[in-house]
Structure 1
Amino acid sequence: MQEESPLRLGILGAARIALGGIIPAADRSPAVEVTAVASRGGDKRDTIADAAPGARVLEGYEALLQSEDVEAVYIPLPNSLHAEWTMKALSAGKHVLCEKPFALDPEEAAEAVEKARGSGLALMEGFMYRFSPQTERLAEIASGGEIGTVRQAVAEFGHRLDDPSDVRGVGSLGGGALGDVGCYCVSGLRLLFGSEPSGASARARFDGEGSDAADREISGILEFESGFGTISCGLDSARRESLTVTGTEGRATLRAPFRPDKSGGEILLTRGDETTTETFEPGDPYRLELEDFAGAVREGRDPAVGPGEILGNARALGELLASARSGGSPQPIQPAT
């Protein structure tokens, strides 16, 4: 049986996550080959060549989209450019793996999903944590009855972002706590409840006035059919990262849920008076993410974090942000149509 050729991947931009995460992961996998990297800044050519010595270095994103040897595109651009360049890549006939958050605007997400589905192209959001064994185990605990029916879940993710020029904190570029780390929290809550929320409310501290102000600290509640999910995230506080789910019969907490590539994780599972601990080694979630994406392309299926996940997260994120900008007014979340 002949092995399938690796997916020929092009990368838009020389973002840190591309150079330090995706390109090394592709080197570790036979399923993906980085064919080309495009940059708008000539001073990054040597850096790109060092990170991806086998790839062509192109000047300008459009040049990459027109390259016939590129089958799929990875987009690690600032948040505000995700939907725009996804649409351009899909229009060029390329499959797309876009970094998280795909969009904070659910309408942009819906437009891209419709385009991908209509074109028969794979579309995936880059939540690599979903491919770690510790995430799979926590989801199993929540859905398999080990703690009963899920009633509450709390997701925390925050860190200090002191550089004012860092795009992750620039509101005009889609930056802010919700887009940088809160999107992980929302994704985790949706995974634990196994459903979509019907309502959202949030309060935030912004770095200014108007729609371009970035949320620096934000807390919110998502209402699910069986209970409530709480997020707590920020860019101005000490690092925190945990995911706890509480059911009618017990509770489970996963430490370091969203960056399993750094230190591995630990699940504390409590039922009654008994607490057990499960530990996990640092995994290779970026490689597994790429391999799922490549498999989706070759098999003609949706990726694990595909259109349905993209729409669900974008709807929840959009309404949390709308609530925070309105001073905490509850916002309904429209169900998928």
Structure 2
Amino acid sequence: MATGTGTGDASASATEQAPVRLGVLGCASIARRRMLPALAARPELELTAVASRDLSKARAFTDEFGGQAVEGYAELLARDDVDAVYVPLPIMLHAEWVERALRAGKHVLCEKPLTRGLADAERLVKLADGLGLTLMESLMFVRHSQHTVVRELLDGGAIGELRSLTAEFAFPPKPAGDMRYDAVSGGALAEIGVYPFATALLYLGADLRVLGATVRRDEALGLDMSGAALLAAPDGTTAHLTWGMEHAYRSAYELWGSTGRIVVEWAYTPPSTHQPVIRVETQDRQERRTLPPDDQFGNVLAHFARAVRTGEDNGLQGEDILRLAALTEKAGAHAVALPGGDGE
């Protein structure tokens, strides 16, 4: 799974080309709060249209960010002035609308995870490849430059040989009626667990075994609310992952090596103005590295635009999508269900 900022490695001539004309399927909160503000700062892309089943919602977006409001997702896909679409719909709607977008000849940037299951992910990746279209998963955190620094420290021997990894991403319960409590959201493993699982793939490689997993289900909602998993790499390195939406907030991972530790706080959702701090601890010293701010949403957009223009697979596509889908599906299949709540 590749990392990188998406800025320094973009071709110098990218901004001289006509921008990729982007349409948005749905008026999700993540689009309004993070993706569309980032899009406004990327000359490689231009917002053409925003679609919603409720035209007033689409107009609220276009009044703020530009483009034309469209009633209905199919109407947006029929437009000739849309080269690519961003899909921030609930997870259980991804497979249908990603497929329809690809068959309409549009490149696709889809919120993570691409689908709820491996079979659908394989089908869509194969379809995009066959049509010569870019299909990218918006797993934005891996595009933040802080993880490139961590990789450099690890490869440089800053903590010796890696022995284990812990990754935790969870947040407190949302108000009643929040979309995450609707069955179309896919549950905590799909919505939140992908972050720690992607972290394990990032540092331990793709050949991971699931030694055990648990999920806590809310039977009234019909959703998993939290979970944990223990993974192992072929060399014996382990990963302990925790995720959920019923905890005090935490967004962090730690690499524990033979001579020290690397700790990354605010690993998954840092604002574009945040200066990340990487902590390196060994027996005789502690070092705190403060890094420049970086915009992981803008970086994903830049990589997507470049892939659309060049056809290059520069990560979060093809095999990266399938590795993450396979691992999370395997964890779900191994998971032991724990007693749940009543949905209140």
- How far apart are residue 148 of structure 1 and its match? 2.8
Moved more, 30-39 or 258-267: 258-267
Change (3 A) 1:83 1:141: farther
Structure 1, unmatched stretches of 5+, are 328-337
Separation in 2, partners of 1:101, 1:36: 23
Percent of paired sites with the same residue = 35
1:218 aligns with 2:231: no
Separation in 2, partners of 1:251, 1:149: 10
Retained in 2: the 8 A contact 1:156–1:232?
Answer: yes
Q: Look up the equivalent residue of 1:165 and give its one-letter code.
A: G
Q: Look up the equivalent residue of 1:154 and give its one-letter code.
A: T
The residue matched to 2:228 in structure 1 has which SS? strand
Separation in 1, partners of 2:151, 2:115: 24
Separation in 2, partners of 1:63, 1:27: 23
| 2:244 matched residue in structure 1 | 234
1:192 aligns with 2:203: yes
Q: Look up the equivalent residue of 1:313 and give its one-letter code.
A: L
Query: 116, 121, 124: which one pairs with 1:104?
Result: 116
Retained in 2: the 8 A contact 1:124–1:303?
Answer: no
- How far apart are residue 192 of structure 1 and its match? 1.3
- How far apart are residue 326 of structure 1 and its match? 6.0
Separation in 2, partners of 1:305, 1:137: 19
Separation in 1, partners of 2:207, 2:93: 26
| 2:145 matched residue in structure 1 | 133
1:18 aligns with 2:31: yes
| 1:335 matched residue in structure 2 | none
Retained in 2: the 8 A contact 1:9–1:35?
Answer: yes
1:251 aligns with 2:278: no
Separation in 1, partners of 2:156, 2:97: 39
Retained in 2: the 8 A contact 1:142–1:192?
Answer: no
Separation in 2, partners of 1:45, 1:152: 46
1:180 aligns with 2:191: yes
| 1:71 matched residue in structure 2 | 83
- How far apart are residue 37 of structure 1 and its match? 0.7
Change (3 A) 1:88 1:101: same
Change (3 A) 1:228 1:160: same
Query: 176, 182, 205: which one pairs with 1:164?
Result: 176
- How far apart are residue 25 of structure 1 and its match? 1.0
| 2:96 matched residue in structure 1 | 84
Separation in 2, partners of 1:142, 1:66: 48
Q: Look up the equivalent residue of 1:177 and give its one-letter code.
A: A
- How far apart are residue 127 of structure 1 and its match? 1.4
Q: Look up the equivalent residue of 1:241 and give its one-letter code.
A: S
Q: Deviations over 1:278-304 (max 9, x none)?
A: 123432111111011000111111132
Change (3 A) 1:202 1:63: same
Cα RMSD between the aligned structures?
A: 1.9
| 1:274 matched residue in structure 2 | 285
Q: Give the structure-1-normalised TM-score.
A: 0.90
Q: Deviations over 1:93-112 (max 9, x none)?
A: 11110001112311111111
> Matches of residues 325-336 of structure 1 in structure 2 within 5 Å?
none
Change (3 A) 1:273 1:141: same
- How far apart are residue 145 of structure 1 and its match? 3.3
Q: Give the structure-2-normalised TM-score.
A: 0.88
Separation in 1, partners of 2:253, 2:33: 25
Retained in 1: the 8 A contact 2:38–2:297?
Answer: yes
> Matches of residues 24-63 of structure 1 in structure 2 within 5 Å?
24-53=37-66, 55-63=67-75
